[in-house]
Structure 1
Amino acid sequence: MKASSKIGLLMAAVGAMIGLAACGSQSDTSSSSKTLTLWSDQEIPATVVKSWKESPFHTQLAKQTKIKVNWQFPASGADFSQAFNLLITQKKLPDMIWHGFLGSADQMISDGVLMDLSKDLPKKAPHYWAFLKAHPEYMRAMKTDSGKIYMAGFFRETPQQTTFIGPEIRQDWLDANNLKMPTNIAEWENVFKVFHDKYNATLGFVPDWTFNPGFAGAFGAHAGLDPNSYIDGKKVKFAQTQPEWKNYIAWLHKMYAEGLIDKDFVTADGNSLQTKATTDKVGVIFNLQSVVSKLNTAAASNKSSAKWVGAPYPNQANGEKPTAIYMIDMYNTQGVGITTSISKDKLDAAYKWIDYPYTKEGQLYWNYGEKGVSWEMKDGKPTFTDKMTKGKYDLLTQTQLYTRNTGNGLGVQLLDMIRQRTDASSFNAGKTWYNGNKQVRQAMYPSAVSYTRQESKEIAQIMNTMGTYVKERAIKFITGELPMSQFDSFMTGLKKQGVDRYLKIQQDAYDRYLKRQ
């Protein structure tokens, strides 16, 4: 889905739409006597408190909105999907549910679980409605194929916030060898060889999401080791069936054969990768942006000269930006829906509660917490107080205690909040990885598409085997267990796995998505 070119002006847009009534829904105390029940597998309280009743964010939210909410969370360690499936079998549901509804909302409405909010939003949740009207791409994402709006969503202020995984490199080793930051595959190959010859260090990665898409975009491919659909014009394609992906895998095999890729990558996980990074066994890794600061903190405590920074994804050979970098949608798949079990006398309160994050006051609260406690205004900008930056716990824990909208939430996640809660090296890494790459978003298969029950069943069955098949074959091609000469047989295998049917379902769902009004 194409991001709005004006998303950077989101704060101004939100401020303008609040001319309706400055937080009018919050000044109404008529709902203060109502207690709403909310089952949620999101916004779980920080681990340093026993329950939400001791969580500053959750308890203060009730005071901010003047609406009491009884939060219900799955048991610790529970499978969230199983907990949700069990929940919706109950005759009496909570008033609201916070869950990943995208893709199945029409079914949830027809099954009598969720209410269709479309008709009541303009009057009962005017700030949220104004926000959706101002951003047609979000309006489309929050609708079902039949045009129903079913949840209050979570959105990001800028595209930069959608990219938080990428290549991380030893800047001190680059400096010591008079190497500039690599920008294309040829330069990266040279860096790998120098790091290997001088430090016996390799490229480290985990054959899962931390390496997807890896350097695939430098070859014009649209995925790494994970199976992936992408959009070419309005046609859905499967990345692993394209010649660019073959070229990428062939290059990885070459790097592996030359000893430039960590031999343990097949069994590696995030923890083992970080261990190798802190012991100088790898000089380049793919990981979360938060890992950059973790590695630098570890280096400081170990009195090491190591300096890790985010490195740009390599450009294509013709100098164009990569066709694939790690990127997610501008919205999340999770949101809050109102159930059909809610009583009429509570309905207005539920709408006011989901409307609050889209007001000016609510946006500040969900991002920064309570004014005068966790933030104050400095130089015209909300700024975290010493309570946050020099509090009892680390900044991550403090923000979990007093704020939300970090990885998920409601309303709009603000870029400056992310900057304040993130170490500069990590924040800059995310900025480096995104690098204004708009073409990747244009090719992304949107997560807001909806499937019928039959389509969902078929997709799951196909991907259950095809996903494993793609990863296993990719690893075998890289390590040489399968020669690249057998790539045609891999393509034949994809046909047998059902790739054509998979693409047909994906195309049908995408076509319906485009027709949403």
Structure 2
Amino acid sequence: MKKRSKRARRLTLSTAAAMSALALLAGCTGSGSGGDAGADAGGDAAPPNAETGGSEGNGAEVGYPETITYWIPMVDHIKGHATTLNEVTLYQELERITGTKVEFKHPSGEGDQITEQLNLMIASQNLPDVVETNWLNISRGPENAIKEGTILRLNELIEQHAPNFRKYLDENPDIEKLIKTDEGSIYGFPFIRGHESLMVFHGPIIRKDWLERVGMDIPTTIDEWEAVLTAFKEKDPNGNGQADEIPFFIKYDGNVKDSGMNQLIGTFGIGAQFYQVDGQVRYGEIQPEFKEFLTVLNRWYEKGLLDPDFAATDGALRDAKVTGDQLGAFYWYAGSGIGRYMGLMEKDHPDAELWPAPYPALEKGGKAALGQRDTAFSGIAAAITGKAKNPERIVKWLDFAYGEEGHNLFNFGKEGVSYDWVDGYPKYSDNIMKNPEGLNVSQAMSMHFRAAYNGPFVQDKRYVEQYMERDSQKEAIQIWSEPENKIQMPKVTMTADENKRFASIMTDLNTYSDEMVTKFIMGVEPLSSFEQYVETLKSMGIQEAIDIQQAALDRFNNR
């Protein structure tokens, strides 16, 4: 055990405010489960639960809860491999250390189905102890949820019972600004991306082997992209003698419209939906540059460069087109895109090579105004509901993840099982990188810890250093970080009344917009109707929505 304690003193905890280096975060666990009560203590050590009491330091007056009910959707990474997070090594270890038994409640379905179940649960007030979701997306916002008693304001509880998290916030005041409402309320234990290298993970991907076969370089401008896509269509780069290549795929859906993704739209100097210029909020789809974006996609559609079935292609069909050696370029993730697809294609198409491409610029040497870049905090947090009987104990339990031992558990799993210390570095084991059960890396990670997606903890950059094992993935992070991103909106919060009115406007507006943009791209609606389209958006209340976002941005800047 002395050897483990010596290792523990060498560990560093990544911080979200450090953009060029990690700051040391050597806070105590506040749990009474340090080195001796952790992985080395074995099953004989009594956890400091509600009966045995707390530990030294802040939070000593309470112990961990006996049981917790916890609502959280299951991620796609482990669907089919686990039915509950209780099967994940992280939570098995967490129960051993704290003595707390967690009853996970996983909603069924995905996307809108999960949102509907969450809304019904909140409306009925039939709530578990903890709900983990993106609280910035819920109806009427997190501050209203506090006022209605759905969730608790955690400021005072954190001060009294969360020494690890409080220490982290003291050392990272910019993060504390992000996780509070405009009224100053902390509404959950947040997922924090602990380093800038964790914030960029999505962008243009192209078949590098196809480029070599048609004798062209990776494109950097819209004109170069068009030339490359034309060559993909005409020169049979997959070499099967058939004209079955699909040069490019993009679908005008949540990913393209997501203000954090900006697939191709940022090339034209605007943002998808809401963005800001010198503190003034604008809406991308009513700008003249949005017509330029539509003009390019319409031209590519007419030339057969854009997937003719783009509007009807879902994730499964996209997967089939990529792994079937048909798709030349698309926007997707470095991990589940480049890494996953390369693994799936190794057997049938061993020469296939997916490579990151820069977000295209309009002119040679230029840069896109926006690419994909997440913020340190995106709204995902574990909130304690008003139905929880022992919130102070739950706060202590959630705080464990922000201490040193919990940080390692959430990011790397159980020592000796999913990782080992090698020269002071938490190196993932073959259970992760070469899983004996045939799981890919992201699936194996998700069966042992939560760094591969999100959760109430600070994500460690040493996770992504190993997850992005291919050179193409590592280069993707560098290439996709090139856009300026100065006009990106921060994660603002609206008042309850603003949120209600905003949702009323945007629900109908987005339905109309999605339909019209698809028609513009396919040529069903002529681009000469764009100005009328803009006038219709204005008549539907887009200016009022902009004003609401402006008020929220002003409050954010004044926090």
TM-score between both structures, scaled by the size of structure 2: 0.82
Q: Offset at 1:323?
A: 1.1
Q: For 2:126 and 2:533, how far apart are their aligned partners in 1? A: 50
The answer to whether the 8 Å contact 2:191/2:459 transfers is yes
Which region of structure 1 is more displaced relative to structure 2, 229-238 or 504-513?
504-513
Question: In the alignment, residue 94 of structure 2 is paired with which amino acid?
Answer: L
Are residues 419 and 412 of structure 1, via their aligned partners in 2, closer, same or farther at CA, if it must alter by over 3 Å? same
Please tell me whether residue 229 in structure 1 is matched to residue 274 in structure 2: yes
Offset, 1:153: 0.2
Match of 1:505 among 533, 548, 551: 548
The partner residue of 1:197 within 231, 234, 238 is 234
- For residues 221-267 of structure 1, what are the alpha-carbon distances to aligned partners after superposition, in whole Å with 9 as ceiling and x for unaligned? 222xxxx1011111111011222222222222222233322222222
Contact 1:376 1:382 in 2 (8 A): yes
Which residue in the other structure is 1:351 paired with? Answer: 395
**Could you tell me which residue of structure 2 aligns to residue 336 of structure 1?**
382
Other-structure match for 2:24: 13
Give me the whole-angstrom Cα distance separating, in 2, the residues matched to 1:159 and 1:190: 34
Q: Which runs of 5+ in 2 are unaligned?
A: 1-14, 38-46, 52-64, 237-242
**Cα distance in 2 between the residues matched to 1:460 and 1:91:** 22
Cα distance, 1:84 vs structure 2: 3.0
Aligned counterpart in structure 1 of residue 337 of structure 2, from 247, 266, 291? 291
CA deviation after TM superposition for structure 1 residue 68, in Å:
0.3
Q: Aligned partners of 2:190 and 2:74: how far apart in 1? A: 13
Count of residues in Structure 1 that have an aligned counterpart in Structure 2: 499
| Maintained 8 Å contact 1:8/1:157 | no
The yes-or-no answer on 1:515 pairing with 2:523 is no
Equivalent position amino acid for 1:127 in 2: N
2:101 pairs with 1:69: yes
1:373 to 414, 417, 420: 417
How does 1:8-87 map onto structure 2 within 5 Å?
Answer: 8-10=20-22, 12-15=23-26, 18=27, 21=28, 25-27=32-34, 29-33=47-51, 34-42=65-73, 47-64=80-97, 66-77=98-109, 79-87=113-121
Structure 1 partner of 2:267? 218
The TM-score normalised by the length of structure 1 is: 0.88
Structure 2 residue corresponding to 1:164, chosen from 201, 211, 222: 201
1:312 is matched with which residue?
358
Does residue 483 (structure 1) correspond to residue 526 (structure 2)? The answer is yes
DSSP 3-state at the match of 1:461: helix
- Residues 404-443 of structure 1: per-residue CA shift (max 9 Å, x gap): 1221112211222123234526633641443344x31x42
Structure 2 partner of 1:128: 165
CA contact (8 A) 2:322 2:341 kept: yes
Amino acid at match of 1:206: K
Name the amino acid aligned to 2:369: T
Structure-1 separation of matches of 2:450 and 2:520: 43
Greater Cα offset, 306-315 or 428-437: 428-437
Q: Match of 1:387?
A: 431
Aligned equivalents of 2:404, 2:354: Cα separation in 1: 38
Q: 1: CA distance between counterparts of 2:94 and 2:283?
A: 44
Partner of 1:106: 143
Structure 1 residue 401, shift from structure 2 partner? 1.8
In 2, distance between residues paired with 1:186 and 1:342? Answer: 58
Aligned to 1:207: 252
Change (3 A) 1:51 1:186: closer
Whether the 8 Å CA contact 1:419–1:427 is kept in 2: the answer is: no
Change (3 A) 1:42 1:137: farther
In the alignment, is the contact (CA less than 8 A) between 1:206 and 1:273 conserved in 2? no
Classify 1:255/1:303 alpha carbon distance in 2 versus 1 (closer, same or farther; 3 Å).
closer
Structure with greater proportional helix content: 1
Task: Provide the C-alpha distance between the structure 2 equivalents of 1:91 and 1:503, rounded to a whole number of angstroms.
Answer: 32
Deviation at 1:315, TM superposition (A): 2.8
Contact 1:369 1:403 in 2 (8 A): yes
Task: State the alpha-carbon separation in 1 of the partners of residues 380 and 164 from structure 2.
Answer: 19
Q: Using the alignment, how far apart are the partners of 2:29 and 2:255 within structure 1? A: 43
Distance 1:391 1:426, change over 3 A: farther
Distance in 2 of aligned mates of 1:46 and 1:254: 40
Which structure 1 residue ranges, 5 or more long, are not aligned? none
> Does structure 1 residue 462 correspond to structure 2 residue 505?
yes
- The aligned counterpart of 2:321 is 276
Structure 1 residue 304: deviation in Å? 5.0
Letter in 2 for 1:61: L
Q: Secondary structure at the match of 2:311?
A: coil
Classify 1:22/1:465 alpha carbon distance in 2 versus 1 (closer, same or farther; 3 Å): closer
For residue 23 of structure 1, report the CA deviation from its aligned partner. Answer: 5.4
Taking only the aligned residue pairs, the percentage that are identical comes to 26
Measured on the aligned residues, the alpha-carbon RMSD in Å equals 2.7
